[in-house]
Amino acid sequence: MSAVVLLPTGKALTVRTAADAFLDSLANPNTVRNYGIAVGKTAERIGEGRPLVSVADDEIGEALELLWGGSAVNTWNARRGAVLSWTGWCSERGYDGPSVPVWAKRLAAPDSDTPVRSKMAIDRLIARRDVHLREKTLWRMLYETCARSEEVLDVNIEDLDLAGRRCPVKAKGAQPKVRRRGVTRADFVLETVFWDAGAARLLPRLLKGRTRGPVFVTHRRPGPGKVLSARGVCPDTGLARLSYGQARALLDQHTALAGPGTGWDLHEWRHSSLTHLGERGASLLMLMAKSRHKKAENVRRCFKPSAEAIAEVTSLLAPGDARR
> From the centroid of its chain, how far is CA 131?
16
How sure is the predictor about 142, in pLDDT bands with cuts at 50, 70 and 90?
Answer: very high
Q: Which of 232, 249, 269 is the last residue of a domain?
A: 269
Q: Coil, strand, or helix at residue 296?
A: helix
Q: What is the pLDDT of residue 323?
A: 52
Q: What is the CATH number of the domain that holds 201?
A: 1.10.443.10
Number of structural domains found in the chain: 2
Residues 84 and 214 reside in one and the same domain: no
How far is Cα 91 from Cα 240, in angstroms, rounded to an integer? 10
How sure is the predictor about 301, in pLDDT bands with cuts at 50, 70 and 90?
Answer: confident
Residue 178 lies in a domain: yes
How far is Cα 136 from Cα 82, in angstroms, rounded to an integer? 25
Residues 188 and 237 reside in one and the same domain: yes
Q: What is the pLDDT of residue 186?
A: 45
Mean pLDDT of 116-144: 96
Angle CA 159–162–165, to nearest 5: 95
Where is average pLDDT lowest: 101-115, 177-191, 200-214, 223-237?
A: 177-191
pTM over 0.75: no
How far is Cα 141 from Cα 270, in angstroms, rounded to an integer? 10
Residue 101 lies in a domain: no
**DSSP notation for 39-108:** HHHHHHHH-TTSBGGG--HHHHHHHHHHHHTTS-HHHHHHHHHHHHHHHHHHHHTT-------TTSPPPP
Residue 299 lies in a domain: no
Residues 218 and 262 reside in one and the same domain: yes
Q: pLDDT, tens digit, for every residue of 3-51?
A: 444 455 434 689 999 999 999 998 888 888 889 999 999 999 999 999 9
